[in-house]
């Protein structure tokens, strides 16, 4: 399944992340999400139970589901992909280029997204290494969190050898500014869709996607 697909309508590719409920994940798809993320990391308030992921995959088909993971062993990741049906994995820990290469070699067709975190106030991000991943997601570096903090960035164009997905404090009020400043391949949002940490809201999903569509018209 193709995950990172260029759109032909001028709108940013969008991943809406942190879903635990198949019904709300299907709302994300109905509102135009290009991918849906499920967090599979126990410490996170958005952690999705493994047996719920196949239900989300079914509810969102044919839109791909991305498993967001932190430092899982390779063989465990392979089993996760096989049992859940996710189309991509997003590596948010200390995984190395060798891990990315192993995933590509052993999981046919898998899309690998490498998360990189930068200080929220950094005026220069420096080079964001992809480690051979299909895309790099750039997020705010917040102590004790592997991502999804909702903390914003000083947006800028990234120096990267792979498509860049912009995260970090995006919401309906600032997405136009972020797109203009960073010119990314795509966007990733989670906290702006929530009424409280881990609980998504239909209205906020719609509001964000409306803002993304408006950004494409400017």
Beta-carbon contacts of 17 under 8 Å, excluding residues fewer than 6 positions away, are: 36, 37, 38, 39, 46, 66, 68, 148, 188, 189, 190
Can you give the CATH number for the domain in which 177 is found?
3.20.20.70
Taking the C-alpha atoms of residue 139 and residue 128, their distance in angstroms, rounded to an integer, is 11
Question: Each residue of 30-42: pLDDT tens digit?
Answer: 999 999 999 999 8
pLDDT of residue 150: 64
Residue 178 belongs to a domain? yes
Kindly report whether the global pTM for this prediction surpasses the value 0.75: yes
Residue 205 belongs to a domain? yes
pLDDT of residue 145: 57
Residue 181 belongs to a domain? yes
Residue 4 belongs to a domain? no
With 90 as the cut, is the pLDDT of residue 23 above it?
A: yes
Q: What is the count of structural domains for the chain?
A: 1
10 vs 146, higher pLDDT: 10
Compute how many other C-beta atoms are within 10 angstroms of the C-beta atom of residue 193.
26
Residue 207 belongs to a domain? yes
Residue 5 belongs to a domain? no
Q: How many residues does the chain have?
A: 218
Residue 40 belongs to a domain? yes
Q: pLDDT-derived band of residue 80, with 50, 70 and 90 as boundaries?
A: very high
Calculate what percentage of the chain has a pLDDT beyond 90: 76
Backbone torsions φ then ψ of 170, nearest 5 degrees: -75, 140
Question: Each residue of 121-174: pLDDT tens digit?
Answer: 787 888 999 999 999 999 987 665 555 556 668 889 999 999 999 998 899 999
Residue 51 belongs to a domain? yes
Which residues form the domain of 92? 13-117+128-213
Average pLDDT over the chain, rounded to an integer: 92
């Amino acid at each position: 399944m193709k995950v990172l697909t260029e759109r032909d309508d001028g709108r940013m590719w969008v991943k809406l992340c942190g879903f635990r409920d198949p019904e709300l994940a299907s709302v994300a798809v109905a509102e135009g999400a290009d991918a849906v993320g499920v967090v599979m990391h126990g410490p996170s308030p958005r952690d999705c139970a493994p047996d719920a992921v196949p239900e989300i995959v079914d509810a969102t088909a044919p839109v791909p589901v991305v498993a967001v993971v932190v430092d899982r062993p390779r063989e465990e990741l392979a089993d996760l992909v096989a049992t859940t049906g996710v189309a991509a994995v997003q590596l948010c820990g200390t995984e190395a280029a060798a891990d990315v290469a192993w995933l590509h070699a052993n999981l046919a067709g898998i899309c690998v997204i490498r998360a990189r975190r930068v200080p929220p106030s950094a005026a220069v991000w420096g080079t964001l290494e992809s480690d051979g991943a299909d895309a790099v997601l750039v997020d705010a570096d917040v102590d004790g969190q592997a991502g999804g903090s909702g903390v914003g960035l000083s947006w800028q164009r990234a120096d990267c050898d792979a498509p860049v997905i912009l995260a970090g404090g995006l919401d309906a009020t600032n997405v136009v500014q972020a797109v203009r400043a960073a010119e990314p391949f795509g966007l990733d949002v989670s906290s702006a869709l929530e009424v409280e940490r881990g609980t998504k809201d239909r209205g906020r999903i719609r509001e964000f996607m409306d803002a993304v569509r408006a950004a494409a018209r400017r």
